[in-house]
Amino acid sequence: MSDAYDRAVEAVLFAATEPLTRDAIRAHAGDGDVAGALDRLTVHYRGRGFELVERGGRWHFQTAADLAHLLRRGRDEIRRLSRAGIETLAIIAYHEPVTRAEIEAIRGVQTARGTLDVLMEAGWIRPAGRREVPGRPLMFTTTPEFLSHFGLKSRRDLPGVDDLRAAGLLDPVDLAFDQLAVENAGEED
Amino acid sequence: MSDAYDRAVEAVLFAATEPLTRDAIRAHAGDGDVAGALDRLTVHYRGRGFELVERGGRWHFQTAADLAHLLRRGRDEIRRLSRAGIETLAIIAYHEPVTRAEIEAIRGVQTARGTLDVLMEAGWIRPAGRREVPGRPLMFTTTPEFLSHFGLKSRRDLPGVDDLRAAGLLDPVDLAFDQLAVENAGEED
Amino acid sequence: MTDAVPEQLTLDLDGFEGPLDLLLSLARAQKVDLRDISILQLVEQYLGYVERARVLQLELAADYLVMAAWLAYLKSALLLPRDPEVEPDVEELAIRLQLRLERLDAMREAGARLMARDRLDRDVFRRGAPEGLHVVRKAFWSVEYYDLLAAYGQVKARTRPALHVVRDREVVTLETALARVAALLGTAIDWREIERFLPETPNPRLRRSSLASSFLAALELARQGRAELHQEAPFAPLYLRRVAS
């Protein structure tokens, strides 16, 4: 490799246990053209056994997706999410920040105990402030780990997000109307 | 990369949690020219940020030895001084050279172990001889770093007590105490 | 046909996550594109479902019945000529219901697409044994100049009264002077200058205080008839004598 700085960036990314921001790379590799190095390394590793990818402004190496079958062997199968968990995660990702009441309004049912816990435990969502409405409900957003895990460069990479937005399906939730059924059902508890 | 098998070997070595024998590589990557792939990969990574190395018949990637220093980096961490630390520093600056007992007399409270250490670690104060009284206590003065941190040419640049009062830095608490003094005086009569 | 329904109905309801889920399934059975569904037909289907459950005396969760009541209202309003006075607009309610179904459907679809992506630790993997990056932290202390000055101001403000008290202790109180003058008077028979009743001190401030309080003590003793005072002229020496009892 011709460029000593590219080499340093490559070594730092390779040794890191976590995806690194440009600032973190610079903190270790020293001052230099981080962006240029990342571009050149991305091109260099394209099509190899592992690749350099960006996830939410953080960079890491990961194996090529088409080699998954070679590498899954002998690994613990990751826990399967329930249908409620998958829907809740999708709602948070596409509507964030979003409150529990808004999630319930979209799903039409109360969120079972544990659904949000499982997503938080997985490190994919986190509480992010409160909505300034009566009751000040907690809002949830996705995390950088969510982007890393699902291979998304940023939230703009969410599948079909532009079409959904254009169709008005990501507009703010009208709680007054949509929560009707949920509230009534909730009175049982 | 031309060879699909080289790619598989590369990915397997990258994802492995420990150095792999040729047999172990073959178990994951499938049948193929493992030795040839290892040779080609060794050549490819020579001189890059990390290298493919063999140790006792086992293969693994490791960061290039000459870049190991990048993996350990010092970082400045900005920390704020505690209230006791700021007060102690101020007293030393205004009264230097001053002993610990004198600082405590002025502050009216004991100086926690470590407060002076932090100020010395910050490079703002230093021991400056001993006071020739029983016990020969250590005296402290400020350092040139102290002056430069606060942009002062000399200690004479520190505002006097009258200046502090004029700036309102003395008054709020002052009034309360004056009130108290009057009340105490009243009790004596 | 009715004979076959009970079993299937029970099973189906078990599989639904609430009335909205059931509505969405019914809507999807109508057409592929949710934007073209017939709300009226959907309402009919839902109410039919609930009615059959009622006939078969299956216990339905309350939220299914709440939704049924709301849909029955929507249906009657849709069938009646529109009354512009009534709010909200029925057509609007129907569109909103449709949007809700579309949104839930979209989120389901999105969830499925997310799960099908190349996921870290399932389809793609990070390096198995990274060396790790280590950061050696070096503390760098920071204080603002203002904070330094404000802290000193507060120390001064806090401790000044204490210094005051130390200085003010250098006084002779009236009680002390009274006791001293009375005691010394007992030992003297003739006139004596008031200065001779004062304790010896090199401190001029203390001496002034002592003189003032001793003078007051003398006046008090005179008032009580225990002492006599004598002075030749203003600012002349002041003499003091015990009154023989």
pLDDT tens digit string along C77-135?
888 877 777 666 788 888 889 999 999 999 999 999 999 999 988 888 899 888 888 76
Pairwise CB contact (< 8 Å): A93 & C127: no
User: Which chain C residues have a beta carbon less than 8 Å from that of B14?
Assistant: 125, 127-128
| pLDDT bucket at A174, cuts 50 / 70 / 90 | confident
Q: Lowest mean pLDDT: which of A132-141, A155-164, B58-67, C47-56?
A: C47-56
Residues 6+ apart with CB under 8 A from C210: C172, C177, C198, C199, C201
Query: Are A65 and B16 contacting, i.e. CB atoms less than 8 angstroms apart?
Result: no
Q: Please name the member of C99, C111, C132 whose beta carbon is closest to the beta carbon of A87.
A: C111
User: Which chain A residues have a beta carbon less than 8 Å from that of B3?
Assistant: none
Nearest 10 degrees: CA dihedral of C188, C191, C195, C199?
Answer: 0
What is the least distance, in Å, from the CA of B136 to any CA of chain C?
Answer: 25
**CA–CA dist C106, C28 (Å, integer):** 12
**CA–CA dist C185, C188 (Å, integer):** 5
Three-state DSSP state, A108: coil
Higher pLDDT, C183 or A79: C183
C237 part of contact set with chain B, CB < 8 Å: no
Quote the Cα angle for C90-C92-C97, to 5°: 95
B87 part of contact set with chain A, CB < 8 Å: no
Q: What is the mean pLDDT of residues C205-232?
A: 88
Residue A136 confidence (pLDDT) above 70: yes
User: Which chain B residues have a beta carbon less than 8 Å from that of A15?
Assistant: 50, 63, 70-71
A48 part of contact set with chain B, CB < 8 Å: yes
Higher pLDDT, C30 or A127: A127
**CA–CA dist B87, B93 (Å, integer):** 10
Distance from the Cα of residue A88 to its chain's centroid: 13
User: Which chain B residues have a beta carbon less than 8 Å from that of C134?
Assistant: 71-73
pLDDT at C107: 96
| pLDDT bucket at A58, cuts 50 / 70 / 90 | very high
Residues 6+ apart with CB under 8 A from B18: B58, B60, C128, C129
Helix (H) / strand (E) containing C192: strand C192-193
Q: Lowest mean pLDDT: which of B2-11, C80-89, C113-122, C216-225?
A: C80-89
pLDDT tens for B92-112 read 998 889 999 889 888 888 887
The half-sphere exposure of B94 on its side-chain side, counting CA atoms within 13 A, is: 22
C115 part of contact set with chain B, CB < 8 Å: no
What part of A 55-114 touches C (C-beta under 8 Å)?
A: 60-65, 68, 71-72, 75, 77-78, 81, 83-84, 86-87, 89-91, 93-94, 106-109
- Cross-strand bridge partners of residue B140: B98, B127
Q: Which of A58, A68, B7 is nearest to C116 (CA)?
A: A68
C134 part of contact set with chain B, CB < 8 Å: yes
Query: Are A48 and B94 contacting, i.e. CB atoms less than 8 angstroms apart?
Result: no
- Preceding peptide of C88 cis, ω within 30°: yes
**CA–CA dist B124, B126 (Å, integer):** 7
Q: Which of C104, C17, C46, C103 is nearest to A110 (CA)?
A: C17
Q: What is the mean pLDDT of residues A9-37?
A: 93
Residue A149 confidence (pLDDT) above 70: yes
The whole-model pTM stands at 0.61
Q: Please name the member of B61, B150, B185 whose beta carbon is closest to the beta carbon of C145.
A: B150
A1, A7, A45: best to mutate for the B interface, most B CBs within 10 A: A7
Q: What is the mean pLDDT of residues B117-126?
A: 89
What is the least distance, in Å, from the CA of A97 to any CA of chain C?
Answer: 15
Is residue A89 exposed (0-12), middle (13-18) or buried (19+ Cβ within 10 Å)?
Answer: buried
Pairwise CB contact (< 8 Å): C20 & A64: no
- Cross-strand bridge partners of residue A127: A140
Three-state DSSP state, A62: strand
A169 part of contact set with chain B, CB < 8 Å: no
Three-state DSSP state, B87: helix
- CB-CB neighbours of C83 under 10 Å: 10
Query: Are C166 and C209 contacting, i.e. CB atoms less than 8 angstroms apart?
Result: no
**Distances from the Cα of C184 to the Cαs of C194, C196, C198, C201, C243, in angstroms?**
11, 9, 10, 17, 13
Name the DSSP letter for residue A80: P
Pairwise CB contact (< 8 Å): A63 & C70: no
Q: Which of A78, A53, A55 is nearest to A142 (CA)?
A: A55
pLDDT tens for C146-160 read 888 888 888 887 766
Q: Please name the member of C133, C140, C151 whose beta carbon is closest to the beta carbon of B90.
A: C151
Higher pLDDT, C191 or A51: A51
pLDDT at C245: 60
Residue B129's identity, in one-letter code, is G
Q: Which of C35, C32, C47 is nearest to C79 (CA)?
A: C47
What part of C 63-82 touches A (C-beta under 8 Å)?
A: 63, 66-67, 70
User: Which chain A residues have a beta carbon less than 8 Å from that of B29?
Assistant: 70
Higher pLDDT, C157 or A141: A141
Residue C7 confidence (pLDDT) above 60: no
Pairwise CB contact (< 8 Å): B50 & A8: no
Query: Are C155 and B91 contacting, i.e. CB atoms less than 8 angstroms apart?
Result: yes
Helix (H) / strand (E) containing B75: strand B72-80
**CA–CA dist C213, C217 (Å, integer):** 6
Query: Are A15 and B51 contacting, i.e. CB atoms less than 8 angstroms apart?
Result: no
**CA–CA dist A96, A140 (Å, integer):** 7
What is the least distance, in Å, from the CA of C2 to any CA of chain A?
Answer: 29
- List, in sequence order, every beta strand (DSSP E) within A11-124: 50-55, 58-63, 98-99
Can you give the C-alpha Rg of chain A in angstroms?
21
Residue in C closest to B92 by C-alpha? C152
**CA–CA dist B42, B36 (Å, integer):** 10
What is the least distance, in Å, from the CA of B55 to any CA of chain A?
Answer: 19
Q: Please name the member of B85, B173, B185 whose beta carbon is closest to the beta carbon of C157.
A: B173
pLDDT tens for C21-59 read 989 988 888 876 888 888 899 999 999 888 888 887 777
What is the least distance, in Å, from the CA of A184 to any CA of chain B?
Answer: 51
pLDDT at B163: 78
The half-sphere exposure of A10 on its side-chain side, counting CA atoms within 13 A, is: 27
Pairwise CB contact (< 8 Å): A11 & B49: yes
**Distances from the Cα of B65 to the Cαs of A37, A45, A140, B36, B71, in angstroms?**
20, 21, 44, 24, 11
B70, B87, B91: best to mutate for the C interface, most C CBs within 10 A: B87
Pairwise CB contact (< 8 Å): B74 & C137: yes
User: Which chain A residues have a beta carbon less than 8 Å from that of B11?
Assistant: 49-50, 63-64, 67, 70-71
Both tokens assigned to C121 = 């630790």
Residue B43 confidence (pLDDT) above 90: yes
Helix (H) / strand (E) containing A126: strand A125-130
**CA–CA dist A120, C46 (Å, integer):** 36
Q: Lowest mean pLDDT: which of A94-98, A172-176, C38-42?
A: A172-176
Q: What percent of chain A has pLDDT over 90?
A: 63
Answer left, alpha or beta for residue B114, where phi above 0 means left and psi between -120 and 50 means alpha: left
Pairwise CB contact (< 8 Å): B87 & C155: yes
User: Which chain A residues have a beta carbon less than 8 Å from that of B37?
Assistant: none
